[in-house]
Amino acid sequence: MTSHAATLRATYKTGRTRPLAWRRNQLEQMIKMLEENEADLLAALRTDLGKPTVEGFITDIAFVTGEIKQMLKNLKKWNKPQRVPSPIVTMPAKSTLMPEPLGVVLVIAPWNYPIQLLLVPAAGAIAAGNTVVMKPSEVSAATSAVLARLVPKYMDTSAVVLVEGGVPETTDLLSQHFDHIFYTGNGTVGRIVMAAAANNLTPVTLELGGKSPVIIDGSANIKVAARRIAWGKWLNAGQTCVAPDYILVNEKVRQPFIDELGKAITDFYGANPETSESYGRVVSPRHFDRLKGMLGSGTNIIGGETNAETRYIAPTVLADVDMTSPLMNEEIFGPLLPIISVSSTQQAIDHINARPHPLALYVFAENKAVVSDVLAHTTAGGVTVNGTLMHLTNPHLPFGGIGESGMGGYHGKSGVRLFQHMKPVLSRGTKLDPSLAYPPYTDRKAKIFRKVL
Name the burial class of residue 188, with classes exposed (0-12), middle (13-18) and buried (19+) by CB atoms within 10 angstroms of its CB. Answer: exposed
SS3 at position 406: strand
**Beta bridge pairs of residue 400:** 409
Q: How many CB atoms sit inside 10 A of residue 13's CB? A: 11
What kind and span of H or E run contains 260?
A: helix 254-269
Beta-carbon contacts of 438 under 8 Å, excluding residues fewer than 6 positions away, are none
Question: Active-site residues: which are they?
Answer: 207, 241
Backbone CA torsion sign across 340, 346, 349, 355: negative
Q: How many CB atoms sit inside 10 A of residue 267's CB? A: 11
Q: Distance from CA of residue 172 to its chain's centroid?
A: 24
The one-letter code for the residue type at 447 is K
Strand positions, DSSP E, 232-391 = 246-250, 299-302, 306-307, 312-313, 316-319, 336-342, 360-364, 382-385
* In contact, 405 and 210? CB cutoff 8 Å: yes
Strand positions, DSSP E, 14-150 = 82-84, 93-101, 104-108, 131-135
Strand 204-207, strand 213-216: pairing: unpaired
- Of 253, 234, 219, whose CA–CA distance to 374 is shortest? 219
Distance CA 5, CA 176 (A): 6
Strand 131-135, strand 160-162: pairing: parallel
- Of 389, 391, 420, 411, whose CA–CA distance to 70 is shortest? 411
Distance CA 55, CA 53 (A): 5
Q: Distance from CA of residue 304 to its chain's centroid?
A: 29
